[in-house]
Amino acid sequence: IRFYSESQAPIIKINNNYFKECLGFFTGGLYLSYVRAYILEVQNNICEGNWILSSNTYTDAYIYKRGNDTLLPNASEYIKTVFLGSESSQTNSVYNNYQYSYYYNYSSSYYSLDILITPSFERKFINKDETQDFTSISSSIGTDSESIELEVRIVGLIHSEQVIIGENKGWMRNRITIIGDGNKTRQRITLSEGTENEGENQFIIQIENSVIGDIIIQNIQMQKQNCGFLKAEGGKSIALRECSFFGGGTILFNSPVRFEITQCDFVGNSLQPVISSFISITQETIDVFYSRFYQGSFAGQGTGCIVCSQQCTACLIDGCQFLHNLLGAGSSAVAVTTQNCQILSVQGNPFFLTVFSDFGIKDPIKGHFIRSISSKINISLTDFTDSSFACGGNAIKIDEQFASEITFFKCNFTGLRGINNRRSICIHASLSSVNGFKFNCRNCTFSECSFGGVQQAFGNAISITSPESLISEVNREIQFQECGFRRNTGSGFGGSIGIDIRALCSFSFKYIYFSENLGSISNDIWIQTINPIDELNETNFATSYSNSNQPHLFIERNDSTSNFYNLANVQTEFYVSASGSSSYNGTKARPLNNITNALTKLTNFELESQSFERTIYILSSTWSERVIMDSKQPIITIKSGLEIGQDGEQFNIRKSSI
């Protein structure tokens, strides 16, 4: 807090607070600069484990009094009164810089608060060269008699040690935090187990089931060696933050507590063709935030970047990236293999999407980005892009045997390709008709996805299936709302969507846009149903549009009332080119000659939903034009329409210069 005016004489009271583990420049806890104060109290506070970068002094408070006030006593007596009742785990932790005359004469002094009798926290520094408190993490943890919270800071840039937290080794502590603090400047340190302990089923850090406190591991890089990093059997909660790991079999989590991973990197081993899963969790909940998983190589059922099995109850992934992973048959980037998992949530935010991509990888994926049998699946603000699949692999495979609720929201599927595939390239969902289901897809886009299977799928992009059932009391719903399907092609029955539901089901299709899709029977949607014609017909698609070639929709029934239907035609994409003409229709084959003409055509129609993406593609490498846009116009995207080309082994998106 800084008061600038000399005329101010405020009442300042900062009482009954807890300053813990605070890091600063002048001080870790409180910095106060003022001229005069009518009343100043910093009383009955607890300061514990605060620190600054430059020194161990004045870690709790820095008081800078810039004006003379004859009403106040001398500096030393004054500061005692101000900090009455406050306690600290450190001595000389308050610095007082006090002006005692109008001639800018200052008196500076250190002051020790009352000693904190029963501290709940202690900090220890570790370095193998014996220049710090301890030479090993294990020796700093203590024994059974110690229960207070411990923060271990590894100062040496490279540290080798196997750490076991358990019986007779700190199991009673409320919390143990292990932080890489190289040279005491927050540099990430490298931690290894030591060559004598390397090998399969060996781990650098082990947490035994007797541990009752929280465990936090932060700012550590795993040494490249033949072992795992963490094996957990106990604890109250466990967290990994700002760490980097190399190789497979990194984490084996068997503890019935919450497991948090934040801002960590998991990197595969390029020297091994197949590695074990990065993370295997068999208990409770895993939350993964803003982490990267890349260059892994997996094969076989139940392997991948994150695998949830046995008694795992929830898997939450937020803002993560899964890139350049070789996913062999049966493997998945994210795999939920247990029906005990109540929810799988994969999400991002408008500023940091979750991304799955194998852009630039030569070998096609034979596994899946996501495979789940969780009863509730929420996938939102996630991109699935630029990847090739083969031998039954696809982006998302869902197999449900019980009641399920599946939601996709604001997801983007772009540039996914299938070779000799047996499943829809984007989503293939098998749902239980006996127990019921709700499948909801909102505000998602499916573009440039192609299926080239020898065996036909129901839909090139999406297939939803459910077997025959005469049970009518359960709820079965399929909903699509405000989604876009563009240029999805292949031998699937439906160019974009294929649905085969052999039980009565509620269908809802609102504000769906189709463009240039191609299928073997219908170019947009194919549906196999037992619903009577008065429940499912062209009226269910009254607010949807298509400019694909006809027929757009085919509904097949076993009672010989199968029908082809066509949707209303509207164009929401226009192409412009230097070789175009104002008399052309604005398609890629017959582009317009300027953006202004395209804007006019885009705004000449009105749709009930404003969420339809309106796009103008520029087919020239350079473009020059002055464009005036009305603020009342709907959202319009202007971008390059040049093809994605192959340059050696890398794919490059060509851009247009405006």
Q: What is the pLDDT of residue 454?
A: 66
Q: Between 426 and 103, where is the model more confident? A: 426
Least confident of 105-109, 527-531, 598-602: 105-109
Q: Please report which confidence band the pLDDT of residue 73 belongs to, taking 50, 70 and 90 as the band edges.
A: low
Conformation bin of residue 491: beta by default, left when phi > 0, alpha when psi is -120 to 50: alpha
Query: Under 8 Å CB-to-CB from 374, ≥6 apart: which residues?
Result: 315, 336, 339, 341, 342, 343, 344, 404
Evaluate the omega torsion of the peptide bond into residue 551 and state whether it is cis, within 30 degrees of 0. yes
DSSP E strand boundaries for 519-602: 525-528, 545-546, 553-556, 563-565, 573-576
- The encoded tokens of residue 486 equal 């563009």
The residue-averaged pLDDT of 238-243 equals: 97
CA dist., res. 524 & res. 532, Å (int):
21
- For 410, left (φ over 0), alpha (ψ -120 to 50), or beta? left
136-150, 375-389, 437-451: lowest mean pLDDT where?
Answer: 136-150
- From the list 375, 318, 377, the residue with the least C-alpha distance to 352 is 318
Q: Which amino acid is at 564?
A: F
Distance in angstroms (rounded) separating the CA atoms of residues 495 and 459: 6
Give dist(CA 49, CA 583) in Å, integer. Answer: 75
Residue 9 is predicted with a pLDDT of: 66
Asked if 240 contacts 215 with a C-beta cutoff of 8 angstroms, the reply is: no
Coil, helix or strand at residue 200: coil
Residue carrying structure tokens 């109850």: 313
Let me know the angle formed at the C-alpha of 558 by 554 and 563, rounded to the nearest 5 degrees.
25
How many CB atoms neighbour CB 494 within 10 A? 31
| CA distance linking residue 452 with residue 417, whole number of Å | 8
Q: Strands 203-207 and 163-165: what pairing?
A: parallel
Mean pLDDT within 377-391: 95
The share of the chain scoring above pLDDT 70, in percent, equals 89
Q: How confident is the model at residue 419 (pLDDT cuts 50, 70, 90)?
A: confident
Fill in the DSSP letter of residue 457: P
Strands 394-399, 220-222: pairing is unpaired
- pLDDT band at residue 67 using 50, 70 and 90 as cut-offs: confident
Tell me the pLDDT band of 78, cut-offs 50, 70 and 90. Answer: confident
As a whole number of Å, the end-to-end CA separation of the chain is 49
Highest mean pLDDT among 77-91, 136-150, 526-540, 635-649: 526-540
What is the CB neighbour count within 10 angstroms for residue 246? 17
Note the Cα 552 to chain centre separation in Å: 36
Please state whether 382 falls in left (phi above 0), alpha (psi between -120 and 50) or beta.
beta
> Which pLDDT tens digit goes with each residue over 440-475?
999 999 999 998 866 678 999 999 999 999 888 899
In what helix (H) or strand (E) does residue 48 lie, and over which residues does it extend?
A: strand 46-48
Rounded CA-CA distance 223/154 in Å is 15
On the 0-12 / 13-18 / 19+ scale of CB atoms within 10 A, 601 is middle
**pLDDT (average), residues 366-375:** 96
Q: Tell which wins on pLDDT, 638 or 67.
A: 638
Separation of alpha carbons 580 and 573, rounded Å:
15
User: Quick one: tokens of 601?
Assistant: 């055509």
pLDDT on residue 588: 85
Q: Is the pLDDT of residue 117 over 80?
A: no
Binning pLDDT at 50, 70 and 90, where does residue 652 land? very low
Residues in the chain: 658
Are 540 and 640 contacting, i.e. CB atoms less than 8 angstroms apart? no
Q: Evaluate whether 342 touches 314 at the Cβ level (below 8 Å).
A: yes
Structural domains of the chain, with CATH: 11-115 (no CATH), 400-570 (no CATH), 573-640 (3.30.1910)
Give the span between the Cα atoms of 430 and 1, in whole angstroms: 60
Residue 612, SS3 per DSSP: coil
DSSP-derived secondary structure for 148-196: SEEEEEE-SSEEE--EEEBTTBBTT-SEEEEEE-BTTTTBPEEEE--GG
- What percent of the chain clears pLDDT 90, i.e. is strictly above it? 59
Q: Residue 601 is which amino acid?
A: K
Those residues whose C-beta lies under 8 Å from the C-beta of residue 473, and which sit 6 or more positions away, are none
Q: 275-323 pLDDT, tens per residue? A: 999 999 999 999 999 999 999 999 999 999 999 999 999 999 999 999 9
Q: What is the 3-state secondary structure (H, E, C) of 82-132?
A: HCCCCEECCCCCEEEEEECCCCCCEEEEEECCEECCCCCEEEEEECCCCCC
The Cα–Cα gap between 450 and 487 comes to 8
3-state secondary structure at position 258: strand
Measure Cα distances from 203 to 171, 262, 347 in Å: 18, 20, 31
Rounded distance, CA 200 to CA 193, Å? 13
Give the span between the Cα atoms of 202 and 230, in whole angstroms: 9
> Which pTM was predicted?
0.81
Six-digit token pair at 256?
A: 């019935």
pLDDT at 654 over 60: no
What is the reported pLDDT for 186? 85
Q: How far apart are CA 77 and CA 92, in angstroms?
A: 15
Q: Given this model, what pLDDT does residue 651 score?
A: 33
**What is the chain's mean pLDDT, rounded?**
87
Residue type present at position 193 = E
* Least confident stretch, 8-22, 44-58, 167-181, 531-545: 44-58
